Structure 1
Amino acid sequence: MKLLLKSVTIIDKHSAYNNKKLDILIENGIIKKIAKDITAKAEKVISREDLHVSRGWFDSSVSFGEPGFEERETITNGLDTAGKSGFTSIALNSNTFPIIDNNGGITSVKSKAAHHPVQLYPTGALTIKSEGVDLAELYDMKQAGAIAFGDYKRAIKNPNLLKIALQYAQNFNALVQSFPQEDRIAGKGMVNEEQNSTSLGLKGIPNLAEELQITRDLYLLEYTGGKLHIPTISTKKSVALIREAKKKGLDVSCSVAIHNLIFTDALLQDFDTNAKVLPPLRIKEDIKALVKGLKDGVIDMITSDHTPIDTEHKKVEFDNALYGSIGLESAFGALNTIFSTEETVEILSKGKQRFGLVDSKIEEGNPADLSLFIPDENYEFTENHIFSTSKNSIFKGYKLKGKALGIITKAGDFGL
């Protein structure tokens, strides 16, 4: 099949065509020609005012629900949502029922995603049932297609277990993830421990809970070697700790959730449970450090941390609501309000290499892995912009800039 993009602005700083408005001809998933005024016949021609294209976007932390929580999101609808939101590939978390902690679980979710234009890459649980007691079948899951291992939103309490995991994973070059929260410090906290938590009467999680865990994990990494990824950091000192670790030469990476770059804990004034996320929303000082860390490369990638939660677990008292917000649909428009479009697409494209995935730049002869978008449209994000089955978005009512249109990959196009 031939697909022709007309007068599209290419945003890819790794490509010779960066910032040029050209036509792109794609044949059977391969970029065949990039030039002005391509006249080849094509089964599908895409032409739209102010159309832009970049390397495909990747999200390193996405949850759906299936298996076990299909009422929140199925794999099919989740991938549809990702494609319409401009993401060509996602890493799927293992917070399902049952937990994805073995070869069969990895194989099952991959088979359900087969042939979809969005590539699904599973993250296997680090420990059996994510209970933090015994290591899961890491090697078998790696052989089945897992790209990393971690217990989603669950800290590894036993330092020796993480030590063994980092040592063992080196035998097959696996990436280990460790959620940054010391639960004995966090206690029963559910929001940031600061002035707002006190005034609202909500139990707080101090920055210390995150920073203490990161310090421990970095010491372990320095001892063991191996590769460590710390997902969704949220504090100023966390950025400083990882900056120092990288200077030492430790093989560590980290991510930040988009909502932690945008909102402070002041959003909690109305007790909106969509703002109950983990790690919690922090303060302006933390946001400033996170944005700087992302710009200078200390923070390696962003994530929407897309977590669909059904209504009966969100529209309840704040104390009883589950953590999480969906975020795929709002990711581009939210980032584009605080970064330039060039910075936004570069940030959204990061992370693939860390997870061992191919990152294909926009050049003739390369497989198509493209995200299409319009960068300058301003609008208020509402439920009408949500494709997910669950509607628990922290961005409802927030002004966004720019809209994703869809994707083109070797497996096909979607959303266009």
Structure 2
Amino acid sequence: MKILIKSATIIAPSSKYHNKTLDILIENGTIKAIEKNISLTENTQEVTYQNLHLSLGWIDSSVSFGEPGYEDRETLYNGMQTAAKSGYTSIGLNATSHPAPDTGSSISYLKNKTHLFGVELFPIGNLTKNGAGKDLAELYDMQQHGAISFYDYKQPIQNPNLLKLALQYTQGFNGLIQSFPQENAIARTACVNENISSTNAGLSGIPNLAEELQIARDLYILKYTGGKLHIPTISTASSVNLIKQAKLEGLDVSCSVAIANLYYTDKEIIGFDSAYKILPPLRTEEDRLALLAGIKDGTIDMVTTDHFPTTIEEKKVEFEQANYGSIGLECAFGILNKLVGTEKAIDLLTKGRTRFGITEPKLEVGEKAEISLFSPTENYTFTPENILSSSKNTIFKDEKLTGKAIGIFANNSLTLN
């Protein structure tokens, strides 16, 4: 297979090709040439697009589908196609299926079923058996079969001794533990941020304290045990400060933030639209600005779409009864490009591999091609016609965006939107 990408502006700050408009020839999955002008030859597929740009492949550390068990939310086939057409070459797949991926064989099933796609799927195994929060799952066995970390998705580790044991045990094989930042005894059954907006809406609120107390506890345990801890989807200003201080103290901790929490505030809940019901909840403008500052100064290690499909029956109900979550793969680049500009957006979209033990791609002749294609200047409104996911539950509906993913070349496979 020969692919010729014509007149693409390269966004890769660590590369000698950064900000240059060049042609790239790919043959059998390997970059054969990067030059000013490469002639099209027979049996070569040409890729052209107005104001075409490319970068190293994008990665999302927190994606959920449904299969097996919840195929009505999303299948592996359509989910992988959606990720590819959204510009992603790698995804960390959360443990949100049934049965839960908590054994080596269940991790192998996910890897084997998706290995022919352009996108590479990296399973995240359940931390506990069946995700029930009681007993540790087969962590070492899962890692041996391809799991990149261990996380009961959106379920806080309520027992501090369980986290202590997990951090101690995984040091023997350099495993990464994820701990969702919420103390349920404080959050209770509330579903939005505790603030004037929740009072005006008559909805019970989750205070910032619920997140920050859990993070402080987890960091104390990490300081005691050692090991590697990742805190997914933080949402408050004080959470940023807690993690910044922990890093200064030398703790091996990383964190992510969901794009929705960078973009919206809790003022959106006034209309009782369940599309804005996410977890952690949308916070205040002060929190949002602190999160943006955190990604700019490097305290926050990566951004994620926190892509979570749900069915219309789970979402189109009373706000308090609706499922949490939003899809976000399809418009992630457009949102980040609008928020922080193209170069920073690409930096954020390509960060995170090292933390999860994933090999970084290289944009050099002779290297395996793992490339994301995009246009940073295309203006459009994100409408249902732009949604590729089986589920349509998006928080970003009707947003005016600048920048659109075109597709990817990875795993010797070209996928275009």
TM-score class normalised by the smaller sequence: over 0.9
Q: Aligned residue for 2:7?
A: 7
Q: Aligned residue for 1:401?
A: 402
Secondary structure, aligned partner of 1:406: strand
Q: Distance in 2 between matches of 1:398 and 1:40?
A: 38
Q: Distance in 2 between matches of 1:152 and 1:201?
A: 28
Q: Aligned residue for 1:85?
A: 86
Which moves more between the two structures, 218-227 or 354-363?
354-363
> What are the superposed Cα offsets for residues 319-357 of structure 1, whole Å, 9 maximum, x if unpaired?
110100000001000111111100101100000111001
Q: Aligned residue for 2:320?
A: 319
Q: Distance in 1 between matches of 2:224 and 2:370?
A: 38
Q: CA deviation at 1:379?
A: 1.4
CA contact (8 A) 1:14 1:361 kept: no
Q: How many residue pairs are counted as aligned between the two chains? A: 416
**Pairwise mapping of residues 109-128 of structure 1 onto structure 2 (< 5 A)?**
109-128=110-129
Instruction: Give the counterpart letter for 1:88 in structure 2.
Output: T
Q: Aligned residue for 1:353?
A: 354
Q: Distance in 2 between matches of 1:367 and 1:286?
A: 40
Q: CA deviation at 1:411?
A: 3.2
Identity between Structure 1 and Structure 2 (%): 58
Secondary structure, aligned partner of 2:310: coil
CA contact (8 A) 1:183 1:209 kept: yes
Q: Aligned residue for 2:372?
A: 371
Q: Aligned residue for 1:246?
A: 247
CA contact (8 A) 1:276 1:324 kept: yes
> What are the superposed Cα offsets for residues 189-232 of structure 1, whole Å, 9 maximum, x if unpaired?
10000000001010100000000000000001111111000000
Q: Aligned residue for 1:53?
A: 54
Q: Aligned residue for 1:332?
A: 333
Instruction: Give the counterpart letter for 1:239 in structure 2.
Output: V
Listed as ranges, the gaps of 5+ residues in structure 2 are none
Instruction: Give the counterpart letter for 1:92 in structure 2.
Output: L
Q: Aligned residue for 1:383?
A: 384
**Pairwise mapping of residues 179-328 of structure 1 onto structure 2 (< 5 A)?**
179-328=180-329
Q: Distance in 2 between matches of 1:118 and 1:90?
A: 7
Q: Distance in 2 between matches of 1:357 and 1:338?
A: 27
Q: CA deviation at 1:84?
A: 0.4
CA contact (8 A) 2:40 2:46 kept: no
Q: Distance in 2 between matches of 1:149 and 1:313?
A: 26
Q: Distance in 2 between matches of 1:40 and 1:96?
A: 45
Q: Distance in 2 between matches of 1:330 and 1:376?
A: 14
Instruction: Give the counterpart letter for 1:158 in structure 2.
Output: N
Q: Aligned residue for 1:20?
A: 20
CA contact (8 A) 2:117 2:411 kept: no
Q: Aligned residue for 2:170?
A: 169
Q: Aligned residue for 2:98?
A: 97
Q: Distance in 2 between matches of 1:142 and 1:344?
A: 30
CA contact (8 A) 1:375 1:401 kept: yes
CA contact (8 A) 1:12 1:361 kept: no
CA contact (8 A) 2:200 2:270 kept: no
The runs of at least 4 consecutive aligned structure 1 residues that moved more than 6 Å come to: none
Q: CA deviation at 1:40?
A: 5.0
Secondary structure, aligned partner of 1:337: helix
Q: Distance in 2 between matches of 1:171 and 1:157?
A: 24
Q: Distance in 2 between matches of 1:324 and 1:411?
A: 33
State the TM-score, normalizing by the size of structure 1.
0.99
Q: Distance in 2 between matches of 1:347 and 1:199?
A: 35
Q: Distance in 2 between matches of 1:253 and 1:365?
A: 32
**Pairwise mapping of residues 129-144 of structure 1 onto structure 2 (< 5 A)?**
129-144=130-145
Secondary structure, aligned partner of 1:392: coil
CA contact (8 A) 1:116 1:411 kept: no
Q: Distance in 2 between matches of 1:366 and 1:18?
A: 17
CA contact (8 A) 1:115 1:411 kept: no
Instruction: Give the counterpart letter for 2:152 in structure 1.
Output: D
Q: Distance in 2 between matches of 1:354 and 1:70?
A: 30
Secondary structure, aligned partner of 1:308: coil
Listed as ranges, the gaps of 5+ residues in structure 1 are none
> What are the superposed Cα offsets for residues 61-90 of structure 1, whole Å, 9 maximum, x if unpaired?
000000110001001100000000000000
Q: Distance in 2 between matches of 1:415 and 1:124?
A: 30
Q: Distance in 1 between matches of 2:411 and 2:393?
A: 32
Q: Aligned residue for 1:62?
A: 63
Q: Distance in 2 between matches of 1:379 and 1:31?
A: 32
CA contact (8 A) 1:210 1:238 kept: yes
State the TM-score, normalizing by the size of structure 2.
0.99
Q: Distance in 2 between matches of 1:399 and 1:250?
A: 40
Secondary structure, aligned partner of 1:330: helix
CA contact (8 A) 1:65 1:96 kept: yes
Q: Distance in 2 between matches of 1:82 and 1:143?
A: 25
Instruction: Give the counterpart letter for 2:386 in structure 1.
Output: H
> What are the superposed Cα offsets for residues 70-112 of structure 1, whole Å, 9 maximum, x if unpaired?
0010011000000000000000000111111111211111111
Instruction: Give the counterpart letter for 2:19 in structure 1.
Output: N
CA contact (8 A) 1:50 1:374 kept: yes
